[in-house]
Amino acid sequence: MINEKAVAREAGEFEAVIGLEMHVELLTRSKMFCGCRNVFGCVPNTNVCPVCLGMPGSLPVINRRAVEFLCKTGLALGCDVAPYSKFDRKNYFYPDMPKNYQISQYDTPLTRGGAIALPSGKRVRLTRIHLEEDTGKNIHGGATIAQSQYTLVDFNRAGVPLMEIVSEPEIASAKEAEAYLGELKAVLSYLGVSDVKMHEGSLRCDANVSIRPAGSDELGTKTEIKNLNSFRSVGRAIAYEIERMRDCALAGERIVQETRGWDEASGVTHPMRSKEFAHDYRYFPDPDLVPLNLDSATIERWRDELPELPAAKRERYVSALGLTPYDADLLAADRPTAEYFERVAELSNAPKEAANWLAGDVRRSLQKHRLDLSESPMKPDQLAALIALVKDGAVSGKAAKEVCAVLVAEGGDPKTVVAERGLAQTSDASSIARFVEEAIAANAESAAAYRGGKEKALEFLVGQVMRASRGKANVELARALLKERLG
Amino acid sequence: MTSGHEIREAVLRRERSAAEIADEALARIEAVDSELKAFLTLTPERARARARAVDEAVARGDDPGLLAGVPVAVKDLFCTKGVRTTCGSKILENFVPPYSATVVERLEAQGAVIVGKTNMDEFAMGSSCENSAFFPTRNPWDPSRVPGGSSGGSASAVGARCVPVAVGTDTGGSIREPASFCNVVGIKPTYGRVSRYGMIAFASSLDQAGPMTSDVRDAADVLEVIAGHDPMDSTSVDVPVPHYASSLRDDLKGVRIGIVEEFEESIAGDVAMAALYEAAYAKLRELGAKTVPVRLPHAKYGLATYYLIAPAECSSNLARYDGVRYGLRIADGGDVYAMFEKTRAAGFGDEVKRRIILGTYALSSGYYDAYYVRAQKIRTLMKGDFDGAFAQCDVIACPAVSCPAFELGAKADPVSMYLMDYFTIPMSLAGIPALSVPAGYVGALPVGLQIAAPAFEEGRILGVAHAFEQATKFARLREPLIAADRSRAESRA
């Protein structure tokens, strides 16, 4: 009997074991424990109050909306929502932490279990999701802490509700980690609980990475990689770390359990300044808060309020609307895109065409103008109207591409754009015949080649007719006239 | 100085103006406070402005509130917007809060005239007021002695008749013990009865604000004003606030009063104290009450339990004093951790440091279950003890303290100081209300009787205390012994 695991082990192969800890800032109007506004990018220390500054005598009050957002995320991911949970204090000193303890959840997270289904079909199980508060931000006077004469602290972020989603160590590669992240981001976007902007820090990722001989059941020594603030850096950092560990293992070096930082510029991880003493967070239940008791009616109401989620949408797009899996993935990736697509599909009654436009020309034009779909002046009814014009033969496919580019950048009624630019398709045989004559005259060699049996030459001539007519000629009619003339 | 309710009535009838009452209180403070040192900060302008506003409201015919024109002293751990709030500590010596505690807002909304902030043991840790970072406060009944603590300044100010009303806080006895020492009424309400918002925390699961007053009626009125749910404090309970004055009674017919056997055994060794309490119980029976023996088997673990839970919570609560955002900062080189260490080393006194170390240890990994978790279990058992006792009685009557006020410096050993809270800690751990009412004198020194009831039954306590007070009038039987008064009396003679 051949034991594949044993074979792999003897071959000296390694497999990676990765667990992700995601921190998600929740999109509530106010902070986790006070009434301050929860918004990004304000003048430092303007969204603060005695509570989130940790003033003497101030007390926290739980933001019910944050609890709801977390539980809905849990319900969407198939987690068990705890009917009883409480908040604990995590004690440690750091200047960006107003109370020098963080209110978090230690042994009673709001949810346990659940999983994230990757597009590959693999399910990565979740350990827990809990609720806590964000810290402020240190702004160093110099380039690094060591070079700084002073450090300023901005407490606008202090107390922003933070949801921590912890996965089981079941992710096997950098690619899978990216897929996990993508799927989680899509779900959060659908639920509307986060703006999922990694570059603004509303979605942050720490990765626990270890390797072991392929086929082993034991976990190797792990490192925790911090400072991963984009999809790209998550993938690159994990790939780098796996290679680094592999090199260590092959060289017979010991892998040290430590926290490592990712340096985006140089593309390497490096050990972070290790704390002088081992942390003992001295967790204990926060006596300023009463335990959270969620009744099943509330939990069921939240479950009923869940929107259709990305996996279900993708499935429906393929099976009911006939999209390719690739287009379905693309269009279901975030809620605004999916909603846009569905609106265009509904108005035009042509889901496949809507998908083709959005996954093709629209996407390219958006990239060219560095726009998000939601930022484009082109509204769904305008794209739907364009699809209708093509269907009715009022504009050729080629001209429609030109119209589309205009709409993405400027918006407007496609009919007006067609008229203004003189792009209406012509099916008038006599005017097309004039372009046909010109094309044959100017490309005698191609005409001869076609007559000599080279089918491809005809398409070149069709192209010339279309070009001369600035895309307005009905392409089928042009082809027919050419064949007739050269036949 | 008369009582708060008498002042209010005089102001409402326009026999006295709130302004002249405020001036009298300020003058009295000026006369005696150089000797007593009850106040850390005086607020004469604020007081006069408030008093004028009350007088104007009365003139307009508006309702000036339940505490109209009543001068009030506030323990210096209630945040007062724009007025320095030190918590008796160097680390907050120059701290001026940008907001006021809910208790302060509620007092002022009912016409109270806050005259100043009173001295206290640093961060409410102590039983003598000697742990104030600034100076000790003296007992008006014998200025060589302590006023008790931690609400010593508030007790001294009321006992010296500077103000009829003060507010203090009680974590393990910090209202009841100084009330007992200074011959005033002090009530620690049910945990959750009064908002803790803006009250600088010592031990969050035990801290509770309460009135310290010249008589029981004032305690009822002040409690009615400050009690009630506050959306800013999740631990404040949404139970309706009764009109406490209507539960005050003049006899005790039909009342069953529990006498705690364990406490009686403990006080028996001090003949004078035992006799005083025996006389108090006899007076209760004389008023119509029936006394029944009850047991609190876990009371003996109270001190040990308290000295795990309170320091554990304080070690976390006091972590915020780091020099970053407010208060003392010592940054003379080194990194931010050096700043934390130097600031806290210079800013906290010995007793505060002792408790932070105790609490940090009790919460440490490997010790948490053995200490903190076990202490919480004892706390549950202690609640059970009281449930059992209250099945047999309506209220409990017991000693508030084991001795009268002691001399400054007499309790240098921390544990001997901790023992001062022996009779008050069990009620704190159980979260139930308890009051100290003047019960007579041992020699020249006043002593209080403690009355406790089930949660949210402050009305019962006030009712019994009122009957006892009306029958004895111990608070007014003698006058305090302050040098200023003696010299005035001598010059008159």
Ranked by mean pLDDT, the top range of A367-376, B202-211, B410-419 is: B202-211
Residues 6+ apart with CB under 8 A from B428: B170, B171, B172, B173, B188, B206, B208, B306
The answer to whether A44 faces chain B, any CB pair under 8 Å, is: no
- Per DSSP, the three-state class of A268 is strand
Ranked by mean pLDDT, the top range of A243-252, A457-466, B290-299, B473-482 is: B290-299
Are the beta carbons of A260 and A226 closer than 8 angstroms?
Answer: yes
Are the beta carbons of B299 and B382 closer than 8 angstroms?
Answer: yes
B318: closest CA of chain A, how far (Å): 8
B82: containing domain:
4-242+433-492
A266: closest CA of chain B, how far (Å): 28
Q: Is the confidence at residue B356, as pLDDT, over 60?
A: yes
Q: Is residue B86, in this structure, part of any structural domain at all?
A: yes
Q: Which residue of B has its CA nearest to A278?
A: B365
B309: closest CA of chain A, how far (Å): 11
- Tell me which residues of B are annotated as active site: 75, 150, 174
Q: Is the confidence at residue B359, as pLDDT, over 70?
A: yes
Q: Which residue of A has its CA nearest to B87?
A: A56
Q: What is the pLDDT of residue A1?
A: 44
**Quick one: DSSP state of residue B442?**
E
Contact A288 B360 (CB under 8 A): no
Contact B199 A57 (CB under 8 A): yes
- Per DSSP, the three-state class of A462 is helix
Out of A153-162, B116-125, B200-209, B479-488, least confident range: B479-488
The answer to whether A288 faces chain B, any CB pair under 8 Å, is: yes
Contact B322 A95 (CB under 8 A): yes
pLDDT digits (tens, 9 = 90+) for A344-358: 999 999 999 999 999
Contact A98 B201 (CB under 8 A): no
User: Which residues of chain B have a CB within 8 Å of the CB of A289?
Assistant: 234-235
A residues 385-404 closer than 8 Å to B (CB): none
pTM above 0.80, yes or no: yes
Q: Which helix (H) or strand (E) holds B140?
A: none
Q: Which residue of A has its CA nearest to B369?
A: A284
Give how many domains chain B has, as a whole number. Answer: 1
> Once rounded to an integer, what is the mean pLDDT over residues B10-24?
97
Q: Is residue B409, in this structure, part of any structural domain at all?
A: no
Q: Is residue B216, in this structure, part of any structural domain at all?
A: yes
A282: closest CA of chain B, how far (Å): 5
Tell me the C-alpha distance between A262 and A264, whole Å. 6
Tell me the C-alpha distance between A141 and A98, whole Å. 20
pLDDT digits (tens, 9 = 90+) for B158-169: 999 999 999 999
Q: Strand runs (DSSP E) across A149-282, as ranges?
A: 151-154, 161-167, 203-213, 223-228, 258-263, 268-271
Q: Which residue of B has its CA nearest to A61?
A: B234
pLDDT digits (tens, 9 = 90+) for B20-63: 999 999 999 999 999 999 999 999 999 999 999 999 999 999 99
Q: What is the pLDDT of residue A374?
A: 84
Contact A59 B312 (CB under 8 A): no
Contact A55 B232 (CB under 8 A): no
Q: What is the pLDDT of residue A431?
A: 82
Nearest Cβ partner for A57 among B101, B340, B372:
B101
Q: Is residue B35, in this structure, part of any structural domain at all?
A: yes
Residues in chain A: 487
Q: What are phi and psi of A353, to 5 degrees?
A: -65, -45
Q: Which residue of A has its CA nearest to B361?
A: A282
B209: closest CA of chain A, how far (Å): 12
Contact B325 A93 (CB under 8 A): no
Q: Is residue B444, in this structure, part of any structural domain at all?
A: yes
> Once rounded to an integer, what is the mean pLDDT over residues A423-429?
78
B247: closest CA of chain A, how far (Å): 31
The answer to whether A59 faces chain B, any CB pair under 8 Å, is: yes
Testing the interface with A: which of B232, B343, B348 to mutate, by most A Cβ within 10 A?
B232
Q: Is residue B373, in this structure, part of any structural domain at all?
A: no
Q: What is the pLDDT of residue A485?
A: 85
Tell me the C-alpha distance between B232 and A60, whole Å. 7
Instruction: Find the CATH number of the domain harbouring B25.
Output: 3.90.1300.10
Contact A50 B200 (CB under 8 A): no
User: Which residues of chain A have a CB within 8 Å of the CB of B101?
Assistant: 57
Which burial class, exposed, middle or buried, applies to B435 when counting CB atoms under 10 A from its CB (0-12, 13-18, 19+)? buried
Q: Is residue B99, in this structure, part of any structural domain at all?
A: yes
> How many CB pairs below 8 Å do chains A and B form together?
100
Nearest Cβ partner for B232 among A59, A95, A282:
A59
A residues 71-100 closer than 8 Å to B (CB): 89, 91, 93, 95, 98-100
A295: closest CA of chain B, how far (Å): 19
Residue among A329, A335, A330, A328 nearest A308 (CA):
A335
Classify the phi-psi angles of B228: left when phi > 0, otherwise alpha if psi is within -120 to 50, otherwise beta: left
Are the beta carbons of A432 and A466 closer than 8 angstroms?
Answer: no
Nearest Cβ partner for B365 among A59, A153, A280:
A280
Contact B197 A59 (CB under 8 A): yes
- For residue B334, how many other CB atoms are within 10 A of its CB? 11
Q: Is the confidence at residue A228, as pLDDT, over 80?
A: yes
Q: What is the pLDDT of residue A155?
A: 98
The CA-based dihedral angle spanning residues B398, B400, B404, B405, taken in that order and rounded to the nearest 10 degrees? 180
Tell me the C-alpha distance between B211 and B232, whole Å. 21
Nearest Cβ partner for A95 among B78, B313, B324:
B324
ipTM, two decimals, is 0.96
B320: closest CA of chain A, how far (Å): 4
Testing the interface with A: which of B77, B196, B320 to mutate, by most A Cβ within 10 A?
B320
What are the tokens at B46?
Answer: 């604020």
What are the tokens at B226?
Answer: 């400050």
Out of A275-279, B44-48, B82-86, B219-223, least confident range: A275-279
Testing the interface with A: which of B169, B234, B356 to mutate, by most A Cβ within 10 A?
B234
Out of A203-212, B199-208, B292-301, B484-493, least confident range: B484-493
Mean pLDDT of chain A: 91
Domains of chain A: 4-298 (no CATH), 308-420 (no CATH), 429-486 (1.10.10.410)
Within 13 Å of residue B220, how many CA atoms lie on the same side as its CB? 22
Q: Which residue of B has its CA nearest to A146?
A: B335
Contact B87 A91 (CB under 8 A): no
Higher pLDDT, B334 or A114: A114
Q: Is the confidence at residue A5, as pLDDT, over 60?
A: no
Nearest Cβ partner for A284 among B99, B312, B340:
B312
Mean pLDDT of chain B: 96
The answer to whether A351 faces chain B, any CB pair under 8 Å, is: no
Q: Which residues pair with A207 in a beta bridge?
A: A20, A225
Higher pLDDT, A402 or B128: B128
B/e letters for A406-427, b = 16+ CB within 10 Å, e = fewer, are: bbbbeebebbebbeeeebebbe
The CA-based dihedral angle spanning residues B120, B123, B125, B126, taken in that order and rounded to the nearest 10 degrees? -20
Nearest Cβ partner for A50 among B78, B98, B365:
B98
> Once rounded to an integer, what is the mean pLDDT over residues A238-262?
92
Residue among B325, B305, B431 nearest B371 (CA):
B305
Contact B319 A57 (CB under 8 A): no
pLDDT digits (tens, 9 = 90+) for B234-291: 999 999 999 999 999 999 999 999 999 999 999 999 999 999 999 999 999 999 999 9
The answer to whether A442 faces chain B, any CB pair under 8 Å, is: no
Testing the interface with A: which of B104, B325, B342, B371 to mutate, by most A Cβ within 10 A?
B325
User: Which residues of chain B have a CB within 8 Å of the CB of A61?
Assistant: 231-234
Nearest Cβ partner for A56 among B200, B336, B363:
B200
CA A48 to mean position of chain CA atoms: 30
> Once rounded to an integer, what is the mean pLDDT over residues A283-307?
97
Q: Is residue B135, in this structure, part of any structural domain at all?
A: yes
In terms of DSSP bridges, do strands A223-228 and A84-85 run parallel, antiparallel, or are they unpaired? unpaired
Tell me the C-alpha distance between B183 and B250, whole Å. 20
B345: closest CA of chain A, how far (Å): 15
What are the tokens at B200?
Answer: 């600088």
Q: Is the confidence at residue A123, as pLDDT, over 90?
A: yes
> Once rounded to an integer, what is the mean pLDDT over residues A156-167?
98
